[in-house]
Structure formats: C-alpha cells, structure tokens
Chain A
C-alpha cells in the first residue's frame, strides 16, 4: 500500500520553541488527518482537513491542506513537554482507505 513521506523523521527541541513538520504524497488526496500517538496508546486525532488551502487550528496546533493536494503541514507553537510523541499524517483519496505517513517523533527538552 501507499506510504506517505513525513519529515523530519525526528526532532529534538527546547521547550517553548515552535515546531514544523510536513507530509507529502505522490498522489492527490481529498482528506488529510493529523494524529498524535503517545507511548503505549493509540493515535489520537488532532486536526482534520477537507479542502485544498484550508488552514485549521486546534489550540497551539495549526495544520494546512496544501494547495496541490499532495501535501500537508503541521505546526506546533510554544512547545511544552507534553507535546512529546509521534505525529502521523494520514490521507484519503475517495473510498474508505486512509494512507499513513512514516511518523515524526518529537522530543521536547524542558
């Protein structure tokens, strides 16, 4: 199955810094989702995007649906220690199948 490319693969940042990560696909998607996975837990949905160019925020998190429909971006402002985890993007063409990114592991140093 298709796997989306996420970058960076891992990040180590100081508390208070802003974070940016992205996800790219070789094909066009109609939906982009961003998830966070804490150790020992399942992925938790953070933000859903449904329209090219759409910019959506959830607290300190902001995600964008790229205008080419082949990419998406997630920004976290003023990071805090509980932001630690693995962030996954997921995209859907039509139908029910979601394709997942390779994940970005975030470490926040207090």
Chain B
C-alpha cells in the first residue's frame, strides 16, 4: 500500500553514463515533483508536472529530462552523469482539494552516487 514509490533505492554508476529513476504514486494525485537533496540536506525543487504537463522547471541542466507517461508516473532521465549529480532524489505528489487545501507526500528517495 505504498503511496509514493521510487526505483531504484540506490544507484551507483560511472561518470558519463545515462540513467533513469522511476516514480509512481497510487494516491490519485494530479501533481508530481522531483526534488534533489544535497549533502547539506537542502531540498531543492527540480520539476513539477500537473496532469502530465510540465508546470515547474527550475534551473536544472538539460541533461535532466522528466517524463510523465500518465498522472500516476513521473520518471527522471539523466544523461551524461557528472560527479556533482551525486545526491538523493525524491519524488513527491500532491493534490489540491476544494478550498485550495493541499498536502504533499514524498517517496523514499533514490541515492545516486556517481563515480
């Protein structure tokens, strides 16, 4: 009954490789996000999709490309991985109920280490 799930949990790869991280939510939410958490634990928004449409795209290298095949999935593909990409990547989802009440739920994270 996992609400927001991510795969893989750990990802160790060589510099220059291309990799993907997958995210799925079973909450029926209409908005999904990717965050990057660095070694100082700062959480930075990368992308947000609402109903499969990109609505937030922070200053992120274009080596990072999100893809949302449907409302329940938001995948993150990273080309030409660099050492500085090493971090924990969190997927999250949210849904705005009536009256603009909104909460956001996070996945367990993907720990990416680029060697």
Name A's B-contacting residues (CB within 8 A).
Answer: 1, 3, 30-31, 33, 35, 37, 40-45, 48, 50, 86, 88, 90, 92, 94-100, 102-103, 105
Contacts and interface: CB of A to CB of B under 8 A. Distances in A.
Contact of B105 (A1, A40, A45, A97): A45
Contacts of A40: 109
A106 B41 CA distance: 14
A98 B104 contact: yes
Given A33-B104, A42-B107, A45-B105, A97 B45 contact: yes
Nearest to A47: B103
B50 interface: yes
B103 A33 contact: yes
29 contacts: A1-B44, A1-B58, A3-B42, A30-B100, A31-B101, A35-B106, A41-B109, A42-B106, A42-B107, A42-B108, A43-B43, A43-B90, A43-B106, A48-B101, A48-B103, A50-B100, A94-B100, A95-B55, A96-B48, A96-B50, A96-B55, A96-B94, A96-B96, A97-B45, A98-B104, A100-B42, A100-B43, A100-B44, A103-B42
Nearest to B96: A96
Given A42-B4, A100-B44, 13 more contacts: A1-B44, A1-B45, A30-B100, A31-B101, A31-B102, A37-B41, A42-B108, A45-B106, A96-B50, A96-B56, A96-B94, A100-B42, A103-B42
B65 to A, nearest CB: 20
B86 interface: no
Interface residues of B, number: 27
A88 B104 CA distance: 13
A105 B42 CA distance: 12
A31 B104 CA distance: 11
B42 A42 contact: no
A97 B105 CA distance: 13
A30 B16 CA distance: 42
B25 interface: no
B102 A103 contact: no
